[in-house]
Amino acid sequence: MRWSSKPKIEKEKIAKLAQDLSVDTTISKILFQRNITTFEEAKKFFRPSLEDLHDPFLMKDMDVAVERIETAIRNDENILVFGDYDVDGTSAVSLVASYLKTIYSNVSTYIPDRYGEGYGVSFKGIDFADDNNFSLIIALDCGTKALEKVTYATEKKIDFIICDHHKPGPELPKAVAILNPKRADCYYPFDELCGCGVGFKLIQALGKSRQQSIADFVPYLDLVAMAIAADIVPMNGENRTLAYFGLQVINSNPRNGIKAIIHQTKKEVLTITDVVFIVAPRINAAGRMKHGNYAVELLTEMDFDSAVEFAAAIEIFNADRKDLDKKITNEALMQIIDNEEEDRFTSVVFKEDWHKGVIGIVASRLIEKHYRPTLVFTKSGDKLAASARSVKGFDVYNALQACEEFIEQFGGHKYAAGLTLLPENYEKFKTKFEEVVRNTIPKELLTPEILIDAEIELSEITPKFFRIVQQMAPFGPQNMKPNFKTSAVRDNGYGKQVGADKTHLKLNIIAGADSKTYNAIGFNLGSKITEIQNEFDIVYALDENEWNGVKSIQLLLKDLQ
């Protein structure tokens, strides 16, 4: 691990903000690091308001999209809500379809089959729309690059409204409206919405044109928060406001499908991290193992008992996904070792029978072991399909763009992408991808980095300090849970390895003359037991531990040396 401190900020500025907010300078410094530099900005940060959400009509084509939907309603047209099979896509479809059904009845949903149709807008989906007399398709979390498919639909007299957040190519499809804040000609004030977030802006605009208030849309925010968490978009600006209120809905009055999943997990209060690691994988499991329709049925189910049945089926998919994920990860790791690829700048592995639904997870797992840009390929029809994942600071989408000559199709983000290529191009692509990464990645990015927000003494961790740090949630990219460094601490002699295979480290830490001990847990740091005999430095986040009904502050160790 590389320990890096965030850039220094002028002490005078930190002191002034601390004074204005009546907080200590460490809290002030952490706020500055998040570009919160004034009392007003801090107020908006700590007390988000739905009134701060941007006017949806600021988004390019929003007026056109709303008018086309209203025309469809007036003319009694059939509307098909189409979306990708992951959490963002299925949440977006559930959100837009469930809202439209409150104002109009001729609305259906369509999720493409991961294996039969692949990612995004499909010819099969358009044929389905044509066969069933749909004249308007609203595509969510996909469509920005679907040039041929939108043209194909137009020939069949089917209009498209695209709601997406993926990077556009040099040309846009000839759709009626393309809602995508990443369009070069779109000046919407926040361009990091997820697909479901763009879908939310669409229904917000429809509601606004029908004299509905933002309060009418709060019940939909559980879906938006789930998509924001799962798609790992920046947790700042509008996303943070949507996630903040969405999390409140999840914990107070979620829709039946989410309630059924929470019911199974026996969790009482969910954090955004729980949504990422408990709720989202189960929603994703439907599209990975069976079909994304299961997720939409779960998320739109009005009867709780039926939702519990759907959730039970999805629980089985998730268990199967975990087994496959473990098996394929082991096989992929063996390939890397067998091929003696330790000195490479990339990991590219392939086996034709790997399950297409879990290769993205496997790519992430490989990065945990071999920290470098990673692609996991499997056979998909007569082509090879891959999921790409990247390391912090490196844009894998740009790297794939540099290998375009060997790729049939690709799309995605800076840190996660998907692609297909012809089998005969696999070796050429693998060579080119390695060459591109080797020539463009700064060497230090191949070592995982821990960013330290502030160096503090343990005595600074008061209940008030901890409470303010907790109020910075929900955490995510651009607003990560703060990491602290404390130097020259020691264990009180009772430190030990814990967990079934002794992989974790449990310590009771003391510092300086302070006789107070601080409970600390370091997941996957069990091997560091040899480093705690003398004084050592720690990097950690703050967490709440509950034992026998008693809550206490715990240090969540990230690393020690």
Q: 361 and 495, same structural domain?
A: no
pLDDT of residue 118: 79
Among residues 430, 446, 462, the one where a domain terminates is 446
- Give the mean pLDDT of the chain: 94
CATH of the domain at 468: 2.40.50.460
Instruction: Give yes or no for a contact between 348 and 336, defined as CB atoms under 8 angstroms apart.
Output: no
Please give, one letter per residue, the 3-state secondary structure of 105-135. CCEEEECCCCCCCCCCCCHHHHHHHHHCCEE
CA-to-CA distance for 209 and 34, rounded, in angstroms? 35
Q: What local confidence, expressed as pLDDT, does residue 114 receive?
A: 82
Among 296, 313, 330, the domain-final residue is: 313
- Contacts with 401 (C-beta within 8 Å, 6 or more apart), sequence order: 410
What Cα–Cα distance (Å) separates residue 85 from each residue in 293, 376, 453, 519? Answer: 8, 19, 37, 42
Identity of the residue numbered 453: D
72 and 38: one domain?
no
Residue 86 maps to which CATH number?
3.90.1640.30
Asked if 438 and 454 sit in the same domain, the reply is: no
**Residue range(s) defining the domain that contains residue 218:** 56-313
Residue 342 confidence (pLDDT) above 70: no
d(CA 57, CA 62): 5
Count of other CB atoms within 10 angstroms of residue 68:
21
d(CA 349, CA 271): 35
Distance in angstroms (rounded) separating the CA atoms of residues 242 and 220: 10
Instruction: From 316, 228, 314, select the one nearest 273 (Cα to Cα).
Output: 228
Kindly state the tokens that stand for 403: 């290998």
Residue 341 has a pLDDT of 60
- pLDDT tens digits along 349-385: 999 999 988 999 999 999 999 999 999 999 998 999 9
12 three-state secondary structure: helix
Per residue in 524-549, pLDDT tens?
999 999 999 899 999 999 999 888 88
Same domain, 272 and 178: yes
Residues 381 and 499 in one domain: no
Asked whether residue 301 falls in the same domain as residue 416, the answer is no
In a domain, 254, yes or no: yes
Region class of 496: left (phi > 0), else alpha (psi between -120 and 50), else beta: beta
Question: Strand 518-522 and strand 536-547: pairing?
Answer: unpaired
* One domain for residues 295 and 348: no
The CA-based angle 226-303-120, given to 5 degrees, is 40
For residues 425 and 455, membership in a common domain is answered with: no
**DSSP one-letter code for 7:** P
Q: Tens digit of pLDDT for each residue in 179-202? A: 999 999 999 999 999 999 999 999
| CATH code (residue 350) | 3.10.310.30
Same domain for 288 and 424: no
Residues 434 and 526 in one domain: no
Number of domains in the chain: 3
pLDDT at 340 over 70: no
Residues 28 and 115 in one domain: no
For residues 422 and 477, membership in a common domain is answered with: no
pLDDT at 267: 81
Angle in degrees, 0-180, between the axes of helices 221-231 and 237-252, rounded to the nearest 10: 120
Is residue 319, in this structure, part of any structural domain at all? no
Q: C-alpha 345: how far from its chain's center? A: 25
